[in-house]
Amino acid sequence: SRRLKNITISRPIIYGNTATPLTSETRTPSMPTDHTHLWTVFVRDPTGGDLSYMIKKVVFKLHDTYPNATRSIEAPPFEVVESGWGEFEIGIKIFFISESSEKNISIFHHLKLHPYGIDPAKLTEADKNHVESIMYDELVFNEPTDKMFEVLTSR
Ligand code: SLL
């Protein structure tokens, strides 16, 4: 596959996490009793579309306190839903479709469980019940292969 010189093409993604405190309704018997939160870490299209046309898999590396800390997600939604008690850095490795010949990219996300950064006096129940930390980023493809260019521009 040929590479297209002097061409740069980018596509937006969002990544990050949502978290909510566990309650008697959401806690399940299989969860360790010291777990306090339910959370989801994800990579998504900002407009809600399916990213699998360009992303082959996303590998999420959780804290070593988790069983099977390396979670390889090979189909959308590219996300991991877990419970836990602590915040930590999650490694996120994005792998592109093979036709792209693109190297995988690594990003890090600090899992946020607590609603800090808001004036405690203004903290509402809604703020305490739903925490999120979401980043916007652009995947930049320099001199993409002709196949990748076609994949990216045909939608
Ligand atoms: C630290 N930030 O530096 C903490 C680590 C680890 C989080 C947080 C539960 C794992 C499990 C969990 O929330 N680990 O029970 O499977 O020490």
User: For 3-55, what is each residue's pLDDT tens digit?
Assistant: 999 999 999 999 999 999 999 999 999 999 999 999 999 999 999 999 999 99
Residue located via tokens 């999420």: 60
| CA 66 to ligand 1: nearest atom | 16
Nearest-CA residue for atom 16 of ligand 1: 66
Output the average pLDDT for the chain: 97
How confident is residue 110, by pLDDT bands cut at 50, 70 and 90? very high
Residue closest by Cα to atom 7 of ligand 1: 86
58 Cβ contact partners less than 8 Å away, ≥ 6 residues apart: 43, 72, 73, 78, 92, 93, 94, 95
148: phi then psi, degrees, rounded to nearest 5: -65, -40
- Is the model's pLDDT at 1 over the cut of 90? no
Distance of alpha carbon 45 from alpha carbon 13, whole angstroms: 5
